[in-house]
Amino acid sequence: MVAYLWLVWYESSCRMSPRHWALAVTYEAHDLAYATFYEVFRDGNAAHYQPRVVRRVHLTSKHGNTPYAGKLLLGEINDQVLGALEMYSETATELVNSHTKKRGIHELACHDWAIIIVRSLEDALLLPRGALSRVEKSPRFG
């Protein structure tokens, strides 16, 4: 069965604040599709991130109290990728946490996390070429 991988971003509190990014998987390619969201969030320790999976959410739903702002279809993925996406998310979270210790907590962890996953999938030829460059050009602020 074919699934679709999306980059989804949310409004920020002001133009200079970062937007939150998440990856979403749907089985339909339209706004009303239900999605499984993969993301990172800060736990009680401000410098430590945790992966999170949220199931059965509309692709264009709010994120908590934060309004949906936009999305980008990255490509079709197969069941093998879908089965490994939680592992990719956990590995990317570990990398983000190790870099956060070096760079500081004010870095854009959810952006780095998404880029790590998309780069890995594209390098493994599991996403079409160009997906990473499109993610890197996606809106990060405001």
Q: What is the largest CA-CA distance in the chain?
A: 41
The structure's pTM equals 0.91
Enter the DSSP assignment of 125: T
Domains in the chain: boundaries: 3-136
CA 14, 58, 28, 88 torsion-angle sign: positive
Among residues 130, 129, 21, which one has the least CA distance to residue 68?
21
pLDDT-based confidence at residue 85 (cuts at 50, 70, 90) = very high
Calculate the average pLDDT of the chain: 90
Q: In this predicted model, what pLDDT tens digit does every residue of 56-75 receive, in sequence order?
A: 999 999 888 889 999 999 99
Q: In this predicted model, what pLDDT tens digit does every residue of 89-135 receive, in sequence order?
A: 999 999 998 877 666 555 668 999 999 999 999 999 999 999 999 99
For the chain, percent of residues with pLDDT exceeding 90: 66
Q: What pLDDT shows up at residue 102?
A: 62
Residue 59 carries which side chain, given as an amino acid letter? Answer: L
